[in-house]
Amino acid sequence: VLAAWAGLGYSRRARSLLAAARAAAGQGGLPSTEPELRALPGIGPYTAGAIASIAFGQREAAIDGNVERVMSRLRGSSDDPTRPAIRRAIRADILDLQPAERPGDFNQALMELGATVCSPRAPACGRCPWRDPCRARALSIQEDLPNKPKKKPPVPESGVAGILRVDGRVLLARREAGARLGGLWEPPRAPIQGDDDPMVALERAFIEQIGVPVRVGARLGKVVHIFTHRKLTLEVFEVEPRGACEPAPARGYDGAMLVTPGRAPAVSKLARKVLALAKIAP
Ligand code: SF4
């Protein structure tokens, strides 16, 4: 599953998808109600509501960002829609509006209205089917809603990665299960803290985490990757083994091997960027 998902990011979703499929198979199939769906790995309120209503015709709300915006505006409410009490009120309003027939179509139409008409900036109120009942429009406050707390900027982090080539192959290591990007392969990397010298940190990482002493060579450049809450800047260097390359992965990695370009196993999106900098096809 990770190999098929490789490069799409959010690898946790691939793991959850597999776990949910296994759990559903163990129960004799995918359940049809929102509470049962929510009990499956990786399925939150939005996905549970979407599956229950769209796949099984259940009267349930499916509140994504678009729906949250439309409903905040329709209600003319400047309350933070991410607060549980406001969320419940939005859900209750949706269920009031939702017809008994084809609730899934109603939910999809609501999402589509948010995606195409009730856009974050400059909503096209003139061609909106809800322009009459919309309270935000009546009060001319539609562009001020929804009133959500500002997202925190991603936390900056620094790191260093090394490209080690032997006879046309490149060394990739597998992040250990449970770690961020666990199960995915990448050129070895290490975090840099404070005034750490990146080249020293990289040499140390190759010894301690890969079991291969290296000499750090040319700097290839920099890769910036945004995770959900973090912004990682990686310095990338060529490295050369100081002897035979016999990897013994440890501390964060549970596999390491020399890979022929174009035949890499599941690599992360971050790893693809690092390899691209070294002009190596994953
Ligand atoms: S009238 Fe305007 S603000 Fe209100 S729901 Fe329609 S597009 Fe959104």
Convert the pLDDT of each residue in 43-99 to its tens digit: 999 999 999 999 999 999 999 999 999 999 999 999 999 999 999 999 999 999 999
Ranges 2-16, 23-37, 149-163, 257-271: which has the least confidence: 2-16
Measured in Å, residue 65 CA sits from the centre of ligand 1 at: 15
Mutate to test the pocket of ligand 1, among 134, 143, 147 (most ligand atoms within 8 A of CB): 134
Q: Are 117 and 180 in contact (CB under 8 A)?
A: no
Q: Does residue 97 have its Cβ closer than 6 Å to ligand 1?
A: no
Ligand 1: atom nearest CA of 142 is: 3
Looking at the predicted structure, is the pLDDT value of residue 12 above 90? no
Pocket of ligand 1 contains residue 66 by CB under 6 Å: no
CB 145 within 8 A of CB 220: no
Q: How confident is the model at residue 159 (pLDDT cuts 50, 70, 90)?
A: very high
% of the chain exceeding 70 in pLDDT: 100
Q: Return the residue matching tokens 């390359």.
A: 245
Enumerate the β-bridge partners of residue 219: 237
| Ligand 1 contacts CB of residue 134 (under 6 A) | yes
pLDDT over 80 at 9, yes or no: no
What confidence tier does 276 reach under pLDDT thresholds 50, 70, 90?
very high
Given ligand 1 and candidates 69, 70, 140, which is best to mutate, with the most ligand atoms within 8 Å of its CB?
A: 70
Q: For 160-183, what is each residue's pLDDT tens digit?
A: 999 999 999 999 999 998 888 888
Print burial letters for 158-178: b (CB count within 10 Å at least 16), e (below 16): bbbbbbbbeeebbbbbbbbee
pLDDT > 80? residue 6: no
Beta carbon of 137 within 6 Å of any ligand 1 atom:
yes
Q: Is 105 exposed, middle or buried (0-12, 13-18, 19+ CB in 10 A)?
A: middle
Give the CA diameter of the chain: 76
d(CA 38, CA 40): 5
> Considering the chain, what is the average pLDDT of its residues?
94
pLDDT at 177: 85
Closest by CA position to 267, among listed 253, 251, 250, 282: 282
The residue whose CA is least distant from atom 2 of ligand 1 is: 125
Q: Enter the DSSP assignment of 267.
A: B
pTM for the full model? Answer: 0.74
- pLDDT, position 1: 86
Region label for 279, one of left (φ > 0), alpha (ψ between -120 and 50) or beta (otherwise): left
pLDDT confidence of residue 231: 96
Q: Which residues pair with 231 in a beta bridge?
A: 156, 226
pLDDT score at 16: 92
pLDDT for position 236: 97
First to last CA, the chain: 17
- The pLDDT tens digits for 206-257 are 999 999 999 999 999 999 999 888 999 999 999 999 999 999 999 999 999 9
pLDDT of residue 194: 85
Q: Is 117 in the pocket of ligand 1 (CB under 6 A)?
A: yes
- Best residue for ligand 1 mutational test, from 75, 121, 125, 127 (most atoms within 8 Å of Cβ): 125
Residue 225 contacts residue 270 (beta carbons within 8 Å): yes
